[in-house]
Amino acid sequence: MFAPVLLLLVTLCAQGANGEETLETKRHGHVSVVIVGGTGDLARKYLWQGFFQLYANQVSSGHSFSFYGGGLTPADKANLVFFEILKAVSCAKDVSEQRCAVLKEQFLRLAQYRQLKTDEDYKDLTKHIEQKLQQEGLEEAGRLFYLSVPAFAYADIAEKVNSSCRPSSGVWLRVVLEKPFGHDLVSAQVLASQLGTSLKDDEMYRIDHYLGKQVVSKILPFRKENEKFLDPIWNKHHIERVEIVLKETLDAKGRIPFYDQYGVIRDVLQNHLTEVMTLLTMRPPKNLSSSEEALQNKLKIFAHLLPLGKHQAVVGQYQNYNKEVRNELNKTQDYLSSTPTFAAVLAHVDTAQYDGVPILLLSGKMLDERVGYARVLFKNEVFCVQSHHSVHCKPRQIIFHFGHGSLQYPAILVSKNLFKPVQTDPQWKEVTEHKDVSVLDLPLSDYYVHAPKVQKEAYAELIAHIFAGRKNNFISSENLLASWVLWTPLLDSLAVTFPRIYPGGAVNGNLLDLRVKGKGLSYSNEGVVIIKNDNRGGLSADGYQVMQGKYRSADMVSAWAEELVEKLAADIQDAAEAAVREGGVFHLAVSGGSTPVALFHKLVLDHFSFPWRDTHVWMVDERCVPLTESDSNFRSVHDHLLHHVKIPYYNIHPMPVQLHQRLCVEEDGGADLYEKELRSLVNGSSFHFVLLGVGYDGHTASLFPGGQAASQGESLVVLTESPAKPHQRMSLSLSAINRAHKVAILVMGKGKHALVTQMSRVKDDPNKYPVTAVRPKNGSLVWYLDYEALLG
Ligand SMILES: *[C@@H]1O[C@H](CO)[C@@H](O)[C@H](O)[C@H]1NC(C)=O
Ligand SMILES: *[C@@H]1O[C@H](CO)[C@@H](O)[C@H](O)[C@H]1NC(C)=O
Ligand SMILES: *[C@@H]1O[C@H](CO)[C@@H](O)[C@H](O)[C@H]1NC(C)=O
Ligand SMILES: *[C@@H]1O[C@H](CO)[C@@H](O)[C@H](O)[C@H]1NC(C)=O
Ligand SMILES: *[C@@H]1O[C@H](CO)[C@@H](O)[C@H](O)[C@H]1NC(C)=O
C-alpha cells in the first residue's frame, strides 16, 4: 500500500535536482511525526499546517516522513474528521498550483489516524513504524511526538512514549509540550519531575508560541546587530520605561473551564510576556546559536528581578465574564469568579544597568484593540521651545511590533531621532512606503521600519526548529521554574483581591488607566465598581482586619500573613522615624532565616520613605559560616533587604564570625569585638528595635534550650551551640535583647501553631524555652502572630 507514495517521492526528488537525492533519502532517514490530540483545536488550526510546511520544505532534502494523528476516539469514528483537517492545509505563495496539489496528495497518503489510548495502542504504533521501515528499507532518523492534549495527560503519555515508543539508540526522540506547564511553582515542579522520569531534558521541547513569532525571535539578533548604537543607551540613564503589551478584543467564551482556573496572568504574563521581558533585558549571548549561553544569561535576569507583590499589580475582569462562568460551569446565580481577565504588572530588574527602570507587562481580554508589542521608550532631554514638530522633540523609542494593531504586520520600528538600524538579515527588509498611520504616538514616517520579507506562522517556525533540533526558542525546565518563582507569590497574594470590573471594548474609556508611582502600580482613577460579596468572606473589601490582644501577658498583633507583615513594617518605620527625630539615628537588630523575608520585601517595595540613611542594621545572630554562604543570616538579610535599599555601608554591621580565616574560634574574640562595636555606637547599648523569631524548640536568636541562656551575665554577644545541630553560632544575649526599646517576635505559618499553643501555657523559663525570657526591662514587647500560627 505504500508503493505509490515511494514512487511519487522518487519522482519528485528527481524533479528537484538529480538522481543522487534518492540515495540521500536513505542517508538522511525516516522521521515519524505523531500528533497526540491530532484532531483537536490546535492541531486543526496550526499544527497540521505547520507539519505540511515542514514536509514541503524537507521533501527534497532527503528525509522521508510518515504522519500520525492520535486520539482517544476509535479510528473508524475519527478518520473522516481527520482527513477533512488535513485536506485544508495550504501551500506557500511561491508554490505552483500543480506542485501544491502533488504535495498535498503525498501528505495525505503519508498520514493516518490511530487510536492512542492504551499501552497496547502505543506498542502497536511502534510495531507499525518498524514494519514500515523494514518493508521500505528505510533507515530511521527520529520520532517526534507532539502532545496537543490537556496538561494533566502529559505525564501519562510521556510514560507510554518512554515505555513503548522509545526508538533504538542513534535515533532521536523529541516530545513537544504546550503550556500550561503547571499552575504555580509546586505544580510546575511536580510536572517537571514526572516528565523527567520518562524523558531526558534534551528530548523535551516546551513550546511558548510567542518565541516563534518573527519579531520576538528577532529581538536578540537585532540587539546584537545594533550593539554599537544600543550599548551606550540600553540602561537606566537613558531608558524611561519598557512596556510589553498584548491586548485582545475577544472574550473567554467557550474556553471558560480552562480559563477560569488560569486567568490572564497564568495564560499570558507568566509565559509570553515574561519571555519577551527577558529577551529585552538579558545580555545577548556572544554566540546567538548557543542555547546554553542564552539560557544562562536569561537566568541571570530572573535572579535579579525584584519580587512582585500586590502593590506591583492591578487586575480587572470584564463585566460579562461572571455570566459566562455561570453558564459554562453550571454555577448558581450568586457565584462570583475572581479570575482576572486583565492584568498589569510592574517589574524591576535590580542590576546596575536597569535599577529603577519600570517594566510594565500588560494583557487583557475585551479591550479596545488587538495588538501585541514591546516598546522601549527612551528619555528625551530636549526641550523644544518653538519647534515642537521637528523630529528631535518627539518621543524616542524602539517598537518591537509583534502583529495586528494599526500597523497590521510584524515589524521593528526605530524612531528616526535615535539611530538608523543596521539590517543584515536577508530574510528582512526595510519598509519605506508607509501607510498613513501612527504607531504609539508617532506617524509611521518618523520611524525606520524593518519587517520580515515573508510573514511566517509561529507554529511553522517552531516546528522547523524542532525538526532541526535547535533548542533556543523553547522553554527549558530551569527557565520555567525561574518564571514560576517570580509569579507564584504574586498569584497567591492576588487570590484574595477582587478585580476591577470593566465593561469591555472602547467604553472602557480611562477605567483601566494606570499610574506608576515609585515601584508601585495602581489604577489612576478611583472609579471602582465595588462588588459586595457575602458568600466568600476572603474576597470582601472589609476582609482586612488586624486583631490586637495579649499573648503571654505581652501585647499581641494578629492578622492574615500579608496584613500582619504590613503592620509590622509600618510599626518598624514608625519606630525608625521616632528614633531619627529624637537622636538622628535608628538602631535595628534583625534575624536571618526565612520568616522575616516577607517583611524585608515589604520594607523594600512599599516603604520608600524609610530613613535608611540614618539606620544602622545589626544582626541578632549568625551561623558560623562565611558571610557569603547561602545559609549565612547576613547573606539572607543582604540579599532580601540591604541590597535593595540605599543604606550607607558603614551602617551595616555583620557579626564577625570569620576572623583570621577561622570560624567562631573563642580566642579570636569575635563576640567581644561585636560587643565593643555595639557599646560604642548604640546609646546605652539599647537597640531601638530588635526583630526576633522563634524555633520549634522555643529557641530565639541563637539562644537554645539548655544552653545556659540565663547565665551569660552582662555579656551582650555570646558564642552558643545548637544542641540539635552541633554547630556554633554567635548571638545577642538575653541581656542585650532585654535592653532594647522595642522587641518584636514574629511567628508565621501553620507549622508554628503547636508551638504557639504550648508557649501560651508555659511559665517563663530561660533554660527550657529561651524565648520566654525575652522581657525588655525598659522597653516593650509585641508578639506578631499570623492567623495560621495563632489559630492553626
Ligand atoms: C524510560 O523507561 C526506562 C524503562 O523502560 C527507564 O529505565 C528509564 O529511566 C525511563 N526514562 C528515561 C528518561 O529514559
Ligand atoms: C555557536 O554555537 C553553536 C551551537 O552550540 C555551535 O555549533 C557553533 O560552533 C558556535 N559558534 C561559534 C563561533 O562558537
Ligand atoms: C452543565 O450542564 C449541562 C446540562 O445539564 C451538561 O451537559 C454539561 O456537561 C455541564 N457542564 C459542566 C461543566 O458541568
Ligand atoms: C542616650 O539615651 C539617654 C537615655 O535614654 C538619653 O537621655 C540621651 O539623650 C541619649 N543620648 C543621645 C546622644 O541620644
Ligand atoms: C532602665 O532605665 C533606667 C533609668 O531610666 C536605667 O537606670 C537602667 O539602666 C535601664 N535598664 C536597662 C536594662 O536599660
pLDDT in tens, 424-456: 999 999 999 877 899 998 999 999 999 999 999
Is the pLDDT at 536 greater than 70, yes or no?
no
Coil, strand or helix at 602: helix
Q: Which three cell numbers stand for residue 6?
A: 515511494
Last residue of a domain, one of 468, 490, 517: 517
Judge if the beta carbon of residue 286 lies within 6 A of ligand 2. Answer: no
Q: Are residues 171 and 217 both part of a single domain?
A: no
Region class of 504: left (phi > 0), else alpha (psi between -120 and 50), else beta: left
Does the pTM surpass 0.85? The reply is no
**Per-residue pLDDT, 631:** 87
- Torsions phi, psi of 324, nearest 5? -65, -40
Which residue minimizes the CA distance to atom 10 of ligand 3? 330
**Per-residue pLDDT, 490:** 95
Is the pLDDT at 328 greater than 70, yes or no?
yes
Judge if the beta carbon of residue 258 lies within 6 A of ligand 3. Answer: no
Angle at the Cα of 403 from the Cα atoms of 399 and 405, rounded to 5 degrees: 85
Judge if the beta carbon of residue 162 lies within 6 A of ligand 1. Answer: yes
Is the pLDDT at 491 greater than 90, yes or no?
yes
Q: Annotated catalytic, 272?
A: yes
**Number of neighbours of residue 76 by Cβ within 10 angstroms:** 9
Percent of the chain with pLDDT over 70: 93
Q: Is 437 a domain residue?
A: yes
**Residue in 212, 234, 313 with CA at minimum distance from that of residue 280:** 234
Ligand 1 centroid to 166 CA: how many Å? 9
Q: Are residues 284 and 362 both part of a single domain?
A: yes
Q: Are residues 37 and 95 both part of a single domain?
A: yes
Q: Which three cell numbers stand for residue 630?
A: 547561602
Which residue minimizes the CA distance to atom 3 of ligand 3? 330
Q: Are 343 and 523 in contact (CB under 8 A)?
A: no
Output Rg (C-alpha) for the chain, integer angstroms. 31
**Per-residue pLDDT, 235:** 96
**Per-residue pLDDT, 587:** 98
User: 323: burial class by Cβ within 10 Å (0-12, 13-18, 19+)?
Assistant: exposed
Q: Are residues 661 and 774 both part of a single domain?
A: yes
Q: Which ligand is nearest to the CA of 295?
A: 2
pLDDT in tens, 119-168: 999 999 999 999 999 999 999 999 999 999 988 899 999 999 999 999 99
Judge if the beta carbon of residue 327 lies within 6 A of ligand 3. Answer: no
Q: Are residues 431 and 580 both part of a single domain?
A: no
**Sequence-separated (6 or more) residues with CB below 8 Å from residue 59:** 9, 12, 13, 103, 106
Per-residue pLDDT averaged across 722-738, rounded?
Answer: 87
Q: Are residues 642 and 687 both part of a single domain?
A: yes
Is the pLDDT at 78 greater than 60, yes or no?
yes
Per-residue pLDDT averaged across 507-524, rounded?
Answer: 89
What range defines the domain where residue 53 resides?
A: 30-178
Ligand 1 centroid to 194 CA: how many Å? 12
Which residue minimizes the CA distance to atom 6 of ligand 4? 683
Coil, strand or helix at 720: strand
Which residue minimizes the CA distance to atom 13 of ligand 2? 287
Q: Is 393 a domain residue?
A: yes
- Rounded to 10 degrees, the C-alpha dihedral 103/109/115/121 comes to -110
Q: Are residues 340 and 480 both part of a single domain?
A: yes
Q: Is 461 a domain residue?
A: yes
**Ligand 1 atom, smallest distance to 203 CA:** 13
Lowest-pLDDT range of 171-185, 266-280, 541-555: 541-555
Q: Which three cell numbers stand for residue 433?
A: 512606503
Percent of the chain with pLDDT over 90: 71
Ligand 5 centroid to 680 CA: how many Å? 17
Q: Are residues 224 and 174 both part of a single domain?
A: no
Ligand 5 centroid to 779 CA: how many Å? 10
**Residue in 129, 137, 114, 197 with CA at minimum distance from that of residue 168:** 129
Q: Are residues 242 and 157 both part of a single domain?
A: no
Last residue of a domain, one of 157, 178, 199: 178
pLDDT in tens, 276-315: 999 999 999 999 989 899 999 999 999 999 999 889 999 9
Task: Among 778, 780, 781, name the best residue to mutate to test ligand 5's pocket (greatest count of ligand atoms within 8 A of Cβ).
Answer: 778
Q: Is 600 a domain residue?
A: yes
Distances (CA, A) of 546 to 98, 492, 567, 575, 689: 75, 20, 8, 19, 21
**Residue in 402, 316, 400, 321 with CA at minimum distance from that of residue 364:** 316
Q: Which three cell numbers stand for residue 110?
A: 503519508
**Per-residue pLDDT, 425:** 93
- Torsions phi, psi of 353, nearest 5? -70, -40
**Residue in 310, 312, 308, 284 with CA at minimum distance from that of residue 297:** 284
Is the pLDDT at 238 greater than 80, yes or no?
yes
The single-letter code of the amino acid at 712 is Q
Ligand 2 centroid to 596 CA: how many Å? 45
Task: Identify the band that residue 532 occupies on the pLDDT scale cut at 50, 70 and 90.
Answer: very low
Helices (H), 140-231: 154-164, 185-198, 219-225, 227-230
Q: Which three cell numbers stand for residue 19?
A: 538522481
Q: Is 186 a domain residue?
A: no
Q: Which ligand is nearest to the CA of 328?
A: 3
Domain of 689: which CATH number? 3.40.50.1360
Q: Are residues 603 and 508 both part of a single domain?
A: no
Q: Is 98 a domain residue?
A: yes
Task: Among 159, 198, 199, 204, name the best residue to mutate to test ligand 1's pocket (greatest count of ligand atoms within 8 A of Cβ).
Answer: 198
**Residue in 740, 713, 721 with CA at minimum distance from that of residue 590:** 740
Domain of 267: which CATH number? 3.30.360.10
Last residue of a domain, one of 488, 517, 546: 517
Q: Looking at 84-192, which runs of residues are DSSP E strands?
A: 111-115, 140-147, 172-178
Is the pLDDT at 743 greater than 50, yes or no?
yes
Helices (H), 714-786: 734-737, 753-761
Q: Are residues 426 and 282 both part of a single domain?
A: yes
Judge if the beta carbon of residue 163 lies within 6 A of ligand 1. Answer: yes
Q: How many domains does the chain have?
A: 3
Ligand 3 centroid to 173 CA: how many Å? 39
Is the pLDDT at 184 greater than 50, yes or no?
yes
**Active-site choice (272, 450, 644, 699):** 272
**Residue in 357, 400, 350, 346 with CA at minimum distance from that of residue 238:** 357
Task: Identify the band that residue 710 occupies on the pLDDT scale cut at 50, 70 and 90.
Answer: low
Q: Is 560 a domain residue?
A: no
Per-residue pLDDT averaged across 258-284, rounded?
Answer: 96
Per-residue pLDDT averaged across 764-777, rounded?
Answer: 92
**Per-residue pLDDT, 94:** 85
**Per-residue pLDDT, 527:** 45
Q: List beta partners, residue 113.
A: 69
Q: Is 792 a domain residue?
A: no
Q: Are 698 and 759 in contact (CB under 8 A)?
A: yes
pLDDT top residue among 15 and 436? 436
Domain of 117: which CATH number? 3.40.50.720
**Per-residue pLDDT, 540:** 30
Place of cell 507510554: 160
Mean pLDDT, all residues of the chain = 89
Judge if the beta carbon of residue 683 lies within 6 A of ligand 5. Answer: no
Q: Are residues 111 and 230 both part of a single domain?
A: no
Judge if the beta carbon of residue 193 lies within 6 A of ligand 1. Answer: no
Coil, strand or helix at 438: strand
Which residue minimizes the CA distance to atom 4 of ligand 3? 330
**Sequence-separated (6 or more) residues with CB below 8 Å from residue 343:** 263, 264, 265, 269, 313, 314, 315, 316, 362, 363, 364
3-class SS letters over 263-283: HHHHHHHHHHHHHHHHHHHCC
